[in-house]
Chain A
Amino acid sequence: MQVRTAIRDAIAEEMRRDRSVFLMGEEVGRYNGAYKASQGLLDEFGEQRVIDTPITEYGFAGIGVGTALAGLRPIVEFMTFNFAMQAIDHIVNSAAKTLYMSGGAMHCPIVFRGPNGVPRGVAAQHSQCFAGWYAHVPGLKVVAPYTAMEAKCLLKAAIRDDNPVVFLEHEVLYGQQFEMRDDIRLLSKPSESVLMEGDPARRTGVYLSVHEDSSTGPTQQKNDCGELGKKSIELLPLDKAVIMRHGTDITITAFSISVMHAMEAAGILWEKHGISAEVINLISLRPIDRDTIVNSVMKTGRIINIEEGWSACGIGSEIISIVTETAFDYLDAEPVRITSADVPMPYSKQLEDLALPNVDMIVNRIARMCGRR
C-alpha cells in the first residue's frame, strides 16, 4: 500500500467512526488533495466534512483551532508544511498553549498534517524540515511516520488524541509502496526473528517494541502476536519509537525518509564492514522516546542521528543531549549528527544532492566511528 492511500484510509475510517472528525485545507476536496492524499473523501463525506479553503493558512488554522475548542476534531491539511509558517502562530500560540492557559479547562483536539521536508527540485522556500521547530513546543505532540502502516495507525491515533498533534508526512514517501501485512506483523519474542545470511539483524520484528508497550499506550491493544494480518493493530502509540533492525555496534536514529537511508546504510555496514547497526525509527519527535534510545546506546556504545533538517537546534541535537545526559559513561565514541548542509536548499540537482544527507555519507561516518578504516 502507498503511504498516500494509508493516510486517506486513516482519515476515511476515522470520519466514518466519529461525526466530529472533518478535514479542511487547500484543494483537499474537489482536487482530491494536491498530492492525492484525500482521494475520494469529498465523494464519500460531502462538502460539510471535506472543506476546500481559500489560500489563507493563518485564517483556516485559527478556524480549525476554534472548532477544536468547541468540541470538533478537525484535521487541518497544509498543502506543505512550508505554508504552515503562515499559520504557525495558531499552532504554537493557540493550539499548543490553551490547555495550560486555561488551567486544564479547555483542550484542543486538532491534527495539523501535510508533507514536510525536501521533496526534491523545488528549492529553498519549498524544501525544509520543520520537525525541530514543532518539537520545541510544549503542548504539542509531533510525529513523523515512515511506512504506510505507521502513517495509517499513527494518523488514526492522532485524530483520536485529545491534544494538538503535528503530523509530518513526506512527499517522496507518498508514492512508496509498503507491504501492510508484513508491517503489521508483530513478533512476540526476538527469537522469532527471521535471520538471513548470517545477518543477526535482518528482518527482526519490526513492531516489537511497539507491541511490548502497547498495553500502556493509547492503543490499549493486547494483540496476540506472532500472527500475520487480520487481527492487525489499528492504532500505534504516538510516543514510541520502533526498532527497525537490531544491532550491537552502533545506534542509528532517524525519522521519516531518513529511516530509509538509515536502513540501507545498516545493510551495507553489515555486508561490507561487519558492523551491526541498530536502527531506531523515532516516529515521535515530541515526546522523544528516551528509553528506547538510551537502552540501545547502553548496548551499542555509539549513536548517530540522521535528519533532513539543519543541524543547529535540530532533532539530532536533542537526541545527543539526551544520550550524553543519561548514558554518558556508556559512550565509546563521540555522538554524531548527519543533517542537511547548513544552507537554504539549492535548486540545481548537483547542489541539492550535495546538501542532503546520503547513504554513503552515513556508511563512511559510521565506519570511522566504529574504528574501521
Chain B
Amino acid sequence: MHSEEVLALFRKMVEARRFEEKAAELYTQGHIRGFCHLYIGQEAVIVGVAKNIKYLQESPLDSVITSYRDHAHMLTLGVDPRIIMAELCGKEAGCSKGKGGSMHMYSKPLNFYGGNGIVGAQVSIGTGLALAHKYNNDGGVALIFYGDGAANQGQVYESFNMAALWKLPAVYVLENNRYALGTSIPRAVAGNSLINRGDPFGIPTIIVDGMDVFDVIDKSREAIDYARSGNGPIILHMDTYRYRGHSMSDPGTYRPRSEIEQIKKERDPIVKIKSELLTTYNVSPEEIERIEEEAERLMKTAAEFAINAEEADVGQLETDIILS
C-alpha cells in the first residue's frame, strides 16, 4: 500500500475514535440522552472493511447494515460528523432530524441501512439487502455487521440457511468484542467459540484480527470477492474488543480493568497503524501529530455545531409516519 493510503486509513480510525470521545463528553454534559454505545477499540473493523466497498462513479454499489453501535459506520462511510453529532443531540440538522438518535441513523445515498436497536434484527434485514442485490443482478454485496451476542439469535441462523440456499451475496461481519453487554463468550456460547457457526450451512468463515486494519483489509477483500463472484454468503469473524462500557450507562464491573489495559497496550489498532507508519512508511511524527490534531479539531467543530444547532422541529412530530 502507498503511504498516502495508509495515512488515510489512520486518519479515518483516529477520526472515529475522536468522534466517540467527543460523544462521551457531550453525553456526560447532558447534550446526548438515552443509550449511547461507543465503538472505541473496534475502529479497524469498519475502516478496514469500508476500504473494499465497491463504487460505481461516485456512488457505493454495496450496502451496509449494523446494530445500534453505529456512529463509526456512518462516519467511515462518509457522513459529515456534524450531522451525526447533531443527531446524537436530537437536533433538526441531524441525519434523522433528531427523531432517531444514536441507535437509528441511516444514509440512503451511501446505502447504509442503520442503526438497528433490536439485537440480531439487522442480520435478517441485511440478508434481504443481499437478496435485493441478487434480484437486481447489480453486482453489489451486502455487508452485515453484528455482535457476538447477536450471533446467538435464532434469526441469524434462519438467515444463514436462506442465504446459503439461495447463494446470496452476503458478507456477515461478526464483530466479536468478547462481550454482549455483561455476558462473556464462554457464558453465552456453547463450545465457547463462534468460528464454526457457518459450518452446518456450508458457509465459510475467515478468522480476522479485528485489531489490525491490514488484516481486516486483506481478508475482507477476499470475502467480498467471494460473495460478489456468486459463491454465496461468507462470514468474517473479527476478533476485536471494546474499551468502554456497553453503553454510557454500563459501569462494566464484569471484567477486570487489567484486561482492558492489557489489550490497549498490546493490540490497540491505532497504536499499531501508527507504528507501522513510523517504521515501514517513514512518515514523520509531525505528520502523524498533524492528522491527530486535525481529527481533534474536526470533532470539536462537530460538537460545537451540534450543540448550537436548532432543536428538533416540533412540526416534524407527525411527519414521516406513512407515505401518502
Contact = CB atoms under 8 A, between A and B. Distances in A.
Binding partners A and B: yes
A278 to B, nearest CB: 32
B188 A54 contact: yes
Contacts of B119: 55, 83
A233 B269 CA distance: 59
A123 interface: yes
Interface in A36-65: 52, 54-56, 58-59
Given A56-B152, A121-B34, A343-B321, A27 B99 contact: no
Nearest to A127: B34
Interface residues of B, number: 38
B161 to A, nearest CB: 16
A351 B98 contact: yes
B100 A123 contact: yes
The 7 closest A-B pairs by CB, nearest first: A348-B90, A347-B101, A121-B34, A121-B33, A348-B312, A125-B117, A348-B98
Nearest to B118: A125
Nearest to A354: B317
Interface residues of A, number: 34
Interface secondary structure of B, over-half rule: loop
Nearest to B181: A27
Given A30-B182, A54-B189, 15 more contacts: A54-B152, A55-B119, A55-B120, A55-B153, A55-B180, A86-B118, A120-B34, A122-B101, A126-B117, A342-B321, A348-B90, A348-B312, A350-B98, A350-B312, A351-B317
Given A56-B154, A83-B118, A351-B312, A343 B104 contact: no
Interface in A1-30: 26-27, 30
Contact of B254 (A30, A344, A346): A30
Interface string A318-354: 0000000000000000000000011110111111001
A31 interface: yes
A258 interface: no
Contact of B98 (A27, A31, A343, A347): A347
Contacts of B35: 121-122, 126
Nearest to A341: B317
Nearest to B104: A123
Contacts of A83: 118-119
Given A54-B149, A54-B188, A126-B35, A354 B321 contact: no
Contacts of A120: 33-34
Nearest to B92: A348
Interface string B163-194: 00000000000000000111100011100000
A125 B317 CA distance: 16
| Interface class of chain A by DSSP | loop
B187 A123 contact: no
Contacts of B154: 56, 58-59
A296 interface: no
Contacts of A31: 181-183, 254
Nearest to A125: B117
A347 B101 CA distance: 5
Interface of A: 26-27, 30-31, 34, 52, 54-56, 58-59, 82-83, 85-86, 120-126, 341-344, 346-351, 354-355
Contacts of A55: 119-120, 149-150, 152-153, 180, 188
B101 A348 contact: yes
A346 B98 contact: yes
A360 to B, nearest CB: 16
Given A120-B33, A346-B99, A347-B34, A355 B317 contact: yes
B215 interface: no
Interface in B305-324: 311-312, 314, 316-318, 321
A26 B181 contact: yes
A342 B183 CA distance: 36
Contact of A341 (B98, B152, B182, B318): B318
> Could you say which of B99, B116, B149, B150 has the most chain A C-beta atoms within 10 Å of its C-beta?
B99
B182 A27 contact: yes
Contact of B187 (A52, A58, A343): A52
Contacts of B303: none
A55 B151 CA distance: 9
Nearest to A347: B101
A347 to B, nearest CB: 3
Given A122-B35, A125-B104, A351-B98, A52 B153 contact: no
B257 to A, nearest CB: 17
A350 B102 CA distance: 16
A123 B117 contact: yes
B103 interface: yes
A103 B203 CA distance: 45
A59 B188 CA distance: 13
